[in-house]
Chain A
Amino acid sequence: MLKVEHLTKMFGGLAAVNDVSVDFGANQVNAIIGPNGAGKSTFFNLISGMYQPTSGRILLDDKDVTSMRCDDVARLGVGRTFQTTNLFETATVLDNLIVGYRLRTRSGLWDVLINSKRLQAEEKAAREKAREALDFVGLNHAENRYIADCTQEERKRVAFALALATDPKIVLLDEPAAGVNPEETEGLADLMRKMVKHGLTVCLIEHKMDMIMGIADKIMVLDHGEKIAEGTPQEVKNNPLVIEAYLGSDHDAAA
């Protein structure tokens, strides 16, 4: 599904992502973990086309997307959420979601002026897609609520819905469970399982280990921009390099 080969991103002399190769399988939950500053978000930014890599290749379904712009990558089916999602606070949930389907539509200013058939059809499709996404994340009761009146967890779900409204094949979720309580975290994990069940591929960055160990099919561990481990949750949990990266080695403790 998503294949990354020797991916490197340099910021000046600093390698934020250093020679990372990984193959994320389709229709499963792939997690990326690592200490703060390990290069996880940079890795996402490279895949989604927001940053151009210094070297290496990114293949999406065997198609080379390495040097594509962010909006073109999105059109190929890469949806994404951010650590904080800035939405239009004084607009309703539904109004915020309609634009998600914009990338599949073609209407321009001229269509607006003459209120063309195409525009009407596309707006209807966008509205339906938004409702569908809202239904998927279980928020259809909040359709008319202002974003400003939504809880943190509801906002997270709206952010998911916005990514889903773009009709993606793969979704990149950047710390989806940050700032929500354990019960809500479980709800979001269920939502990710539901996405996979519906044929999506999920990639997520997360710090909540309980959640990761419970839902991930595959975990990649980054530290200082390098991949130090990869495998099932069981394999990663017992990997000495991972334990060292998170807890520090005996040597560090002594120093």
Chain B
Amino acid sequence: MHPASKYVLLAVALLFPALASNEYQVYVMATAFVWAIAVYGFNVITGFCGQLNLAHGGFFAIGAYTVGLLTSDAGWNFWPAFIAALFMTAILGFLVGAVSLRLKEHYFAIFTLCVGFIIYLLLDKWEELTHGAVGVRNIAAPDGFGLVNFRETMPVYYLVLFFLVFIIWFTGRIQKSLVGRTFIAIRNGDELAESLGINLMKTKILAFVISTTYAGLAGALYAGMIRFVGPEDGNILLTFNMIMYMLVGGIGTLFGPLIGTVGIVWLTQSLQFLEEYRMIIFGPLLVLLVIFFPLGVCGSFLTWMHRKAQALGLGPKKAKSESKVTTSDQEAKNNA
């Protein structure tokens, strides 16, 4: 990917409300961005660090409920509640991570699946706190400033976009840094990482807390945008949706979560008319993708680009093309 393509993407995102034919499309896009933020968190713990955390959707719901309950029941303003949601998901992430990360691989996945389900049950059954199945209404919208009113679709779109851009930037920084490389070493294998002097538990907990905080951030924005949350927002199925977004886009890549989430959300929208039958199209599509493009859209593209650059480097004018290869590799890496 050319470095300029990042700015093209950003420009398209900034201009999207002007290009959209109606407000509903802007709203759908903003929702997709919120999910994308959560998927970025998923990508940190599962894509980079290799730990399949099936409670991820639960942390999204905790972020949403924290904002919901603090603004509607406790009468807080949105932004303090938003900060509280980040701390809440970070602290709970630390506690859950410290226990669940003692388990490895499938056992970790099964354990976190249970944690996710427990979160869902608490939201649904603990009526005194969460209002049970009725859900939380009258959630405050983000407080605006000047003429900006976040009750309207356009400002909310740009607010969500701002956080999404920040998350992508920060995740990119992590990925390129020694911290991200440490996560990836763990994905390659606990034993190897350990023999390289990496403290497994400390590193995994760090990745876990980053991911749950991202989920909490997404959930908090979701609550401020939809202004209603219910136990179904903690449904385990949402976690599996996020896995799908991540796999389609490209697990472990920087732009995979964005491409996967926005792509699938729009595909879902365009297949609305099929209602529940749309899974007949989705299912086989996903199977084909996993078989033929296990690296996802983004991963397959980057691999293809890299191989092309390498093949060029093996050509006759070796000395000259080699320097060219290194620069394009650098670019590929910057974008990966």
Q: What residues make up the interface of A, taking CB atoms closer than 8 Å to B?
A: 48, 50, 69-72, 74-75, 79-80, 82, 85-88, 90-92, 95, 98-100, 102-103, 105, 107-109, 111-113, 115, 119, 122-123, 126, 144-146, 149, 162-163, 166
What CA separation (Å) do A145 and B170 show in the bound complex?
27
> CB < 8 Å: which of B173, B174, B333 contacts A95?
B333
B188 contacts A119, CB within 8 Å? no
A102 contacts B178, CB within 8 Å? yes
Which residues on the B side are within 8 Å of A72 (C-beta)?
197
What CA separation (Å) do A147 and B34 show in the bound complex?
35
A99 contacts B184, CB within 8 Å? yes
Q: Which residues 246-300 of B sit at the A interface, judged by CB distance below 8 A?
A: 295, 299
Q: Does residue B194 face the partner (Cβ distance < 8 Å to A)?
A: yes
What CA separation (Å) do A87 and B306 show in the bound complex?
17
Q: Which residues 170-215 of B sit at the A interface, judged by CB distance below 8 A?
A: 170, 173-174, 177-182, 184-185, 187-189, 191-192, 194-200, 206, 210
> CB < 8 Å: which of A69, A71, A109, A162 contacts B179?
A109
A123 contacts B295, CB within 8 Å? no
Q: Would you list 7 pairs from A and B whose C-beta atoms are within 8 A, ordered by A residue?
A: A71-B196, A72-B197, A86-B188, A86-B189, A108-B179, A109-B174, A113-B170
Q: Does residue B310 face the partner (Cβ distance < 8 Å to A)?
A: yes
A102 contacts B200, CB within 8 Å? no
Q: Which residue, of B181, B182, B197, B302, has the highest number of chain A Cβ atoms within 10 A?
A: B197
What CA separation (Å) do A87 and B193 show in the bound complex?
10
**Chain B residue nearest to A142 in the complex (CB):** B310
Q: Which residue, of B179, B302, B307, has the highest number of chain A Cβ atoms within 10 A?
A: B179
Please give 13 more A-B residue pairs, beta carbons under 8 A apart, in addition to A92-B329, A111-B177, A112-B170: A48-B195, A74-B194, A74-B195, A74-B197, A79-B195, A90-B299, A90-B303, A99-B182, A103-B198, A112-B177, A113-B173, A119-B177, A119-B178
Whole-angstrom distance between the Cβ of A45 and the nearest chain B Cβ? 9
A149 contacts B310, CB within 8 Å? yes
Q: Does residue B325 face the partner (Cβ distance < 8 Å to A)?
A: yes
The number of chain B residues with a CB under 8 A from chain A is 37
What CA separation (Å) do A78 and B326 show in the bound complex?
33
Q: Does residue B313 face the partner (Cβ distance < 8 Å to A)?
A: yes
> CB < 8 Å: which of A74, A79, A146 contacts B303?
A146
A98 contacts B196, CB within 8 Å? no
Whole-angstrom distance between the Cβ of A50 and the nearest chain B Cβ? 7
> CB < 8 Å: which of B173, B184, B302, B310 contacts A144?
B310
A102 contacts B310, CB within 8 Å? no
Whole-angstrom distance between the Cβ of A165 and the nearest chain B Cβ? 8
Whole-angstrom distance between the Cβ of A142 and the nearest chain B Cβ? 10
**Chain A residue nearest to B302 in the complex (CB):** A90
B197 contacts A71, CB within 8 Å? yes
The 6 closest A-B pairs by CB, nearest first: A103-B197, A74-B197, A99-B181, A70-B194, A80-B195, A86-B189
What CA separation (Å) do A88 and B196 show in the bound complex?
15
Q: Which residues 52-99 of B sit at the A interface, judged by CB distance below 8 A?
A: none
Q: Which residue, of A72, A126, A144, A149, has the highest number of chain B Cβ atoms within 10 A?
A: A144
What CA separation (Å) do A72 and B178 show in the bound complex?
18
**Chain B residue nearest to A100 in the complex (CB):** B196
Which residues on the B side are within 8 Å of A71 (C-beta)?
194, 196-200
B326 contacts A144, CB within 8 Å? yes
Q: Which residues 131-169 of B sit at the A interface, judged by CB distance below 8 A?
A: none
B197 contacts A102, CB within 8 Å? yes
What CA separation (Å) do A123 and B174 show in the bound complex?
12
A99 contacts B196, CB within 8 Å? yes
Whole-angstrom distance between the Cβ of B211 and the nearest chain A Cβ? 13
What CA separation (Å) do A111 and B196 show in the bound complex?
21
> CB < 8 Å: which of A80, A82, A112 contacts B173?
A112
Q: Which residue, of A48, A70, A95, A100, has the highest number of chain B Cβ atoms within 10 A?
A: A70
A103 contacts B188, CB within 8 Å? no
Whole-angstrom distance between the Cβ of A146 and the nearest chain B Cβ? 6
Which residues on the B side are within 8 Å of A82 (C-beta)?
191-192, 195
**Chain B residue nearest to A101 in the complex (CB):** B178
> CB < 8 Å: which of B180, B181, B195, B313 contacts A50?
B195
Q: Which residue, of A92, A99, A105, A109, has the highest number of chain B Cβ atoms within 10 A?
A: A99
A102 contacts B303, CB within 8 Å? no
Given A100-B196, A102-B196, A103-B197: A50 in contact with B299 (beta carbons within 8 A): no
